[in-house]
Amino acid sequence: MNQHMPPEPVPFIDIGAQRRRLGKSIDEAVGRVLAHCQFVNGPEVTALEQALAQFSGARHVVSCASGTDALLMVLMAENVGRGDAVLCPSFTFCATGEAVALTGATPVFVDVDEATFNMDAASLKRGIVTARKLGLKPRAIIPVDLFGQSADHDAIAAVAEAEGLFVLDDAAQGFGASYNGRRLGTFGRATATSFFPAKPLGCYGDGGAIFTDDAALAERLRSIRVHGQGADKYDNVRLGLTGRLDTVQAAVLLEKLKIFDGEIAARNEAAERYSRGLGNVVTVPLLAAGCTSVWAQYTIRLPKGVDRDGFAAALKAKGVPTAIYYPKSMHQQTAYRDFPVAEGGLSASERLSADVISLPMHAYLDAPAQERVIAAVRSAL
Ligand SMILES: *Cc1c(COP(=O)(O)O)cnc(C)c1O
């Protein structure tokens, strides 16, 4: 490399490194689908659902077309709709609240804990009060395992039980993580995840899955996945979607699942290296007791007074990309600002949206690349 040229940027996520590692096995897996031509409902789809059930400990797995569909399908299967309230954190990707609004129900946004970025049980309780005051019927809670770390599922389950609500866990970023030794996929009535390529377990397009121990719910989900089919596909007993996962994506995921545990370990090593290198200059992410993370993002908070845009520009000049998840909380978005928020406001979400920034994170991030990131962060402050 010419010494006057800037160094190659560190990849923010590195789907290419994994592709090179898995090259032949993925080519062969996709080749098998191309040979048998069952592009919808092929044998890989059933095999993947079984493998995911085994991996997570959930009894039933229903694969589907995206993480958003996974959330929406569970709400549809539970007849959530107009007049109902569903409690969700505001500091999340928009799909969490979007799935609720698409059913006609009202998302009620609650605050998060500033240290873990995950749903705050005290704000959740206030949000339920708010919903009732507005004449809405609280039905469900959607905690999010944000940035890969499991939410406080015991605290949320206690509120759900006391209030008679069901829990739909949004593990789109956290699938593979655990809470008190149990993998996500086994908390609440159902868990939704996404296989979007940038998620910790991603495919080569869009995909998702739903996990549940409830056999009757799994049956309804399998019906909703195919236009609400009954006895056969020309018997429609409810509203549904074209919600299937393609066979090619299932074939890709089966290969990736084989190395997922190792990748989770590598992501945790990378997170530990970051925290050792940066813990004394920025606020590094905190793992709560009993929680693990798959580090979908490694998100830091900048000290007061540091200009975030200037900081990002200084890193970029050194070949270190950054991203802001999320510059606006959901209740600050044009499409969602008219929905209710929990009494007491969402000040933690608003503060986080103003000062978080995410650093490169993936399973193929080696120590030298991380040293570059750490040095760039330290010099930019
Ligand atoms: C990505 C994501 C989703 C949606 O998944 P898609 O597969 O993109 O539809 C839902 N919730 C959260 C928290 C996400 O990060």
- Residue 1: the pLDDT is 47
Give the number of the atom of ligand 1 that is nearest the alpha carbon of residue 207. 7
pLDDT of residue 7: 75
> What are residue 70's phi and psi, to 5 degrees?
-60, -45
**CA dist., res. 347 & res. 91, Å (int):** 11
Containing H/E element for 85? strand 84-89
Q: For residue 105, report the distance from its CA to the centre of ligand 1, in Å.
A: 19
CB-CB contact of 104 with 81 (8 Å): yes
What residue ranges define each of the domains in the chain, with the CATH number in brackets?
1-381 (3.40.640.10)
Question: Cα-flanking dihedrals φ and ψ of residue 268, to 5°?
Answer: -70, -40
What does the alpha-carbon distance between residue 74 and residue 7 come to, in Å, rounded to a whole number? 47
Specify the pTM: 0.97
pLDDT (tens digit per residue) in 273-310: 999 999 999 999 999 999 999 999 999 999 999 999 99
DSSP state of 94: T
Query: Ligand 1 within 6 A of 63 CB?
Result: no
The b/e string for 279-293 (b: 16+ C-beta within 10 A; e otherwise) is eeebbbbebbeebbb
Distance 221 CA to ligand 1 centre (A): 18
Task: Please confirm whether the linkage preceding 326 is cis (ω < 30° from 0).
Answer: yes
Among protein residues, the one whose CA lies closest to atom 2 of ligand 1: 172
Q: Residue 126's pLDDT band (boundaries 50, 70, 90)?
A: very high
Q: What is the mean pLDDT of residues 92-114?
A: 98
Q: What is the pLDDT of residue 233?
A: 76
Name the CA radius of gyration of the chain, rounded: 21
Give the atom of ligand 1 at the shortest distance from the alpha carbon of 144: 13
- Distance in Å, CA 223 to ligand 1 centroid: 22
What mean pLDDT is predicted for residues 312-341? 97
Pocket test for ligand 1, best of 75, 92, 93 (most atoms within 8 A of CB): 93
CB 172 within 8 A of CB 198: no
- How far is residue 202's CA from residue 195's CA, in Å, rounded to a whole number? 4
67 lines ligand 1 (CB under 6 A): yes
Helix (H/G/I), strand (E/B), else coil: 210: strand
Q: Any alpha helices (H) in the chain, and if so which ranges?
A: 15-36, 43-56, 67-77, 95-102, 121-133, 153-163, 215-224, 247-258, 260-278, 308-317, 347-355, 367-380
Q: Residue with the nearest Cα to atom 10 of ligand 1?
A: 95
CA nearest 60: which of 72, 40, 39, 74? 74
Q: Which atom of ligand 1 is nearest to the CA of 146?
A: 13
The DSSP secondary structure of 156-190, one letter per residue, reads: HHHHHHHHT-EEEEE-TTTBTBEETTEETTSSSSE
Ligand 1 midpoint to CA 194 (Å): 6
The response to whether residue 118 sits with its C-beta less than 6 Å from ligand 1 reads no
Q: Which residues contact 67 (CB under 8 A, 6 or more apart)?
A: 95, 170, 172, 192, 193, 194, 195, 196, 199, 208
Ligand 1 contact, 249 CB (< 6 A): no
Reported as a single tens digit per residue, the pLDDT across 216-238 is 999 999 999 999 999 887 899 99
pLDDT by residue (tens digit) across 24-62? Answer: 999 999 999 999 999 999 999 999 999 999 999 999 999
Q: How far is the CA of 173 from the centre of ligand 1 (A)?
A: 7
Backbone angles phi, psi at 175, to 5 degrees: -60, 130
Q: Which atom of ligand 1 is nearest to the CA of 71?
A: 10
* pLDDT tens column, 132-179: 999 999 999 999 999 999 999 999 999 999 999 999 999 999 999 999
**pLDDT given for residue 4 in this prediction:** 63
Beta carbon of 175 within 6 Å of any ligand 1 atom? no
Calculate the alpha carbon distances from 319 to 8, 179, 205, 313, 316 in Å. 6, 36, 27, 10, 5
Tell me the two tokens of residue 44: 């890989």
| Lookup: tokens for 233 | 């596909």
pLDDT at 109 over 70: yes
Query: Distances in Å between the alpha carbon of 49 and those of 79, 82, 220, 245?
Result: 24, 32, 16, 11
- Residue 258: CB atoms within 10 Å: 12
User: Can you give the length of the chain in residues?
Assistant: 381
Question: How close is the Cα of 149 to the center of ligand 1, in Å?
Answer: 15
